Structure 1
Amino acid sequence: MKLWRWIVGLILVAVLAALAWHWVADDPGYVLIHLRGTTLQMTVVTAVVLLLVAWAAIAFLVALIRWPFGAMNRRHRRLSRRRLADGLVALIEGRHSEAERDLNRAARYPSVRGPALLAAAEAAERHGESGRAIETLDAAAQETPRAARIMRARLMRRTGRASEAATLLAPEANSGALSPAGWIEFAEASLASGDPRSAIRALEPLRKSGEIGAPAFNELESRVITAAILATPDGAALSAFCSQLPTGQRRLPAAIDAYARQAMRFGQAMAAMDEIESALRRDGSPALVTTYGTMGSEDLEQRLRRAEAWIDTHPNDAALLTAVGRMCVRIHLWGKAKPYLERALAIEPSAAAWEALGDVYLGESQPELAQRCYRNAFALARGEAVENLPEVRNGRIDTRVSAVEERDQHGVPRLSP
């Protein structure tokens, strides 16, 4: 395609040149120059050619005169770019003082001054020189004001001045002119300053921009919505806020978990149970299962029957087994709780399961075994090794039901190949 454009362009130039030649040949024009007794006579074409030659000669002389200065500028440019590259590498490698020195030197050249000063401020902040970082950002604001403002807000938030950081970015947030990094910083600063409602404003621009990956956006969205739910002062405010949320945000597992905990706190136990049960029917979340098992005593026996029915389709869900075991403990069904908890420990040990098993042994008047279980819960929470109970000293807990069983979505066991 480009070759055809070149061919068509050359043809057009040739046609125009031919037409111009015929037009000039008919009347080449006449130029007379008389200066101090000297007279020059020539055609217009000759005059134009002489002017072009004179312009080329002058341009050549000017370039020749400027060449030494251009060579110095090229050397400075090359040095600045090399120092910028070296400074960025040093910053990534953690050589912060060296990075700051190289980046400040690179900032002497105008074309890289803004990025070099921003990176130098980051290096100074990582080196613990917050005052010098602020001074560098003041200089960077003359070159890249928006980026310097975002970086200043980040520095404020890191040093415990989150409310000042949010205030710094608020004007651009109100006008919707923040960049993606600015929206992220505004959300983080708002969360840190206890204003999650303001952080919610950053979610839609970030979602539309697509500049952060789905996992990072989902994590930020969950934190923001959860914080906003936990900040509601009463049950009416909780219901009103959740009813205004889009469906996607209202169905976030973290948001549902926060809503259930707040609803229980405000005496809305049935609403909390209904929300969690609906969510668990859509998708089993370990956090929601755990919350379901630790909710109040309202309708506990019926909740236990529902949870036991879920085990038919999720027989290897350690969180569900632990939750069912803990509900059995709360209504003193020691013999029923024990196999659930032992199976959960065989699949995926957890401090909650060990603690609940200790409650079982305590209810069965076996304080020594209960103490062992409690010690194991503390040890597992600290990342230390646990000790086996006396009756299983030679191996892990095994109640002959700890085999992993695979079932489909209808609860039908899958045959082993």
Structure 2
Amino acid sequence: MKAWRTITVFLVVAIVAALSWHWLAADPGYVQVSIRGTKIETSVVAALALLLLFWFAVSVLWWLLRLPFRAWGRSVKRRGRERLANGLTAFAEGEYAQAERELGKAAKHEAFRTPALLVLARAAHERGADERAAQALDEAGPAAARAADALRARFLLERGHAAEALASLKPKTDLSLRGRRVLIEAALAEGDTQAALDALPVLARSQSLTPEAQAALETRVLGAALSAAPDATHLNTLWSTASRAQRKRPELVATFARRAAALGQTLAAMDEIESAQRREWNDDLATLYAGLGPGELDERTRKAEGWLDLAPNSAALATTLGRLYVQQSQWTKASTTLERALALAESPAAWEALGDCRRGEGDDASAATCYANALRTARGESGLPVATHRLPGRIDTRPIAVEERSEHGVPRLPGAP
């Protein structure tokens, strides 16, 4: 296609030249130039040719005159690039003083001034020269205003002045993406979750973060907002405006359920946890199910007992059931269930719940041992032996783990696909 286009252009030029030659051959024109009694006579074609030759000669002369200056300019740019490269390398290696020197020299070249001053400010800040960093940001000029604002706020945040960083960024409407991330960090540090929420949509649309990093940031911000919800109305509004993907994240489900229970919305907390468990089993949500307060204990116990079909070998579920039995003073069931939970996997929560159970039964010595075991397990140590509830003279044949089989009836390890 490109070859045919070139051939077509040449043909058109040849045709135009031939037609022009025939047109000029009939009457080549006449040009007369008279200067101080000197007359120059020629045809139009010759005059045009002389003008083109004169223009070409002047262009060559001008190119030759500019050649030394261009060579000098290339040399200056090459030195500027080398200093900028040396400064960036020194900054990456942590040699901040050398980076500051090299970048200061690179900043003298207009082409590299803005990036050199921005990195110089960062190097000066890392070196502890905050005044030099502020001066470099001021010298960066209007072209780097957004980047300079983000860096100033970042420096304040790193020095522990989150309130000042937030105050410097919040009134600005034209923030860079880095500035919005700094604003989110400062807002979370100051508890201003609404400011953090407002900055999220622009970051999401920019796709400057990977999907995983964006999801993690959204989880942090929305989790903080849910935890800080002042009342049930605000909490439900936040949860209803969250995306479907966000409402499926176990961390956010747990945060919503925890805050809803604290605000007296036990049924709403239960509903979210139960829906999440139907989608995909999660031990953390099962553990939280027992910590929703004193409301709806009977219903939660029945639901947790039904979950045994979903996760028969879950130590977290066994611990949750035991804690629910303890809250209802069903000591025998609680003891049996918690002993099984500890046989599956020791955890501080299971030992603490068993301690509450033993204390409820009036066995203070065993309760003290259980509480001590909770501390030992939290430190990564094994627990001390505690007497179990077994019938005298009989062997305990209760299963610790339930065999799991695939859809083809083949036994598999717990948790295996």
- TM-score between the two structures when normalised by the length of structure 1: 0.83
Taking the aligned partners of 2:10 and 2:182, their CA distance within structure 1 comes to: 55
Could you list the per-position Cα deviations for residues 41-61 of structure 1 after superposition, in whole angstroms to 9, with x for gaps in the alignment?
222222222222222222222
2:345 matched residue in structure 1: 344
2:373 matched residue in structure 1: 373
2:411 matched residue in structure 1: 415
1:401 matched residue in structure 2: 400
CA shift, 1:328, in A, is 4.2
CA shift, 1:301, in A, is 4.2
Does the residue aligned with 2:98 lie in a helix, a strand or coil? helix
Taking the aligned partners of 1:154 and 1:402, their CA distance within structure 2 comes to: 52
Indicate if the aligned counterparts of 1:32 and 1:40 stay in contact, CA closer than 8 A: yes
Structure number, greater radius of gyration: 2
Give the residue type in structure 2 aligned to 1:158: E
Indicate if the aligned counterparts of 2:84 and 2:116 stay in contact, CA closer than 8 A: yes
Of residues 190, 193, 208, the one that matches 1:193 is: 190
Worse overlay, 195-204 or 21-30: 21-30
**Residues 274, 95 of structure 1: CA spacing in aligned structure 2 closer, same or farther, 3 A cutoff?**
same
Give the residue type in structure 1 aligned to 2:93: E
2:121 matched residue in structure 1: 121
CA shift, 1:339, in A, is 0.8
Does the residue aligned with 1:306 lie in a helix, a strand or coil? helix
**Paired positions, count:** 396
Taking the aligned partners of 1:104 and 1:72, their CA distance within structure 2 comes to: 21
Give the residue type in structure 1 aligned to 2:335: W
1:182 correspondence with 2:182? no
**Residues 74, 231 of structure 1: CA spacing in aligned structure 2 closer, same or farther, 3 A cutoff?**
same
**Residues 161, 416 of structure 1: CA spacing in aligned structure 2 closer, same or farther, 3 A cutoff?**
closer
**Residues 124, 50 of structure 1: CA spacing in aligned structure 2 closer, same or farther, 3 A cutoff?**
same
Taking the aligned partners of 2:288 and 2:247, their CA distance within structure 1 comes to: 17
Q: Percent identity?
A: 40
Does the residue aligned with 1:294 lie in a helix, a strand or coil? coil
Could you list the per-position Cα deviations for residues 129-155 of structure 1 after superposition, in whole angstroms to 9, with x for gaps in the alignment?
232222211122333222222222322
Indicate if the aligned counterparts of 1:357 and 1:373 stay in contact, CA closer than 8 A: no
Taking the aligned partners of 2:52 and 2:224, their CA distance within structure 1 comes to: 73
1:308 correspondence with 2:305? yes
CA shift, 1:215, in A, is 0.9
Taking the aligned partners of 2:382 and 2:114, their CA distance within structure 1 comes to: 59
Taking the aligned partners of 2:136 and 2:81, their CA distance within structure 1 comes to: 19
- Which ranges in structure 2 are unaligned for 5 or more consecutive residues? 387-397
Worse overlay, 314-323 or 147-156: 314-323
1:20 correspondence with 2:17? no
Could you list the per-position Cα deviations for residues 72-129 of structure 1 after superposition, in whole angstroms to 9, with x for gaps in the alignment?
2111211211222222222223222222222222222211221121122222222232
1:150 matched residue in structure 2: 150
**Residues 88, 202 of structure 1: CA spacing in aligned structure 2 closer, same or farther, 3 A cutoff?**
same
Indicate if the aligned counterparts of 2:312 and 2:402 stay in contact, CA closer than 8 A: no
Does the residue aligned with 2:134 lie in a helix, a strand or coil? helix
- Which ranges in structure 1 are unaligned for 5 or more consecutive residues? 381-385, 392-398
Matches within 5 A, 1:247-286: 247-286=244-283
1:236 correspondence with 2:241? no
Indicate if the aligned counterparts of 1:361 and 1:367 stay in contact, CA closer than 8 A: yes
1:395 matched residue in structure 2: none
Does the residue aligned with 1:39 lie in a helix, a strand or coil? strand
1:225 correspondence with 2:226? no
Indicate if the aligned counterparts of 2:232 and 2:263 stay in contact, CA closer than 8 A: yes
Matches within 5 A, 1:98-117: 98-117=98-117
Could you list the per-position Cα deviations for residues 359-396 of structure 1 after superposition, in whole angstroms to 9, with x for gaps in the alignment?
5676654257436513423413xxxxx246459xxxxx
Give the residue type in structure 2 aligned to 1:415: P
Q: CA RMSD in A?
A: 3.1
CA shift, 1:318, in A, is 4.6
Worse overlay, 145-154 or 243-252: 243-252
Matches within 5 A, 1:344-363: 344-345=345-346, 350-356=347-353
CA shift, 1:165, in A, is 3.2
Taking the aligned partners of 1:12 and 1:169, their CA distance within structure 2 comes to: 62
CA shift, 1:219, in A, is 1.0
Matches within 5 A, 1:33-182: 33-173=33-173, 177-182=174-179
Worse overlay, 232-241 or 356-365: 356-365
Indicate if the aligned counterparts of 2:406 and 2:412 stay in contact, CA closer than 8 A: no
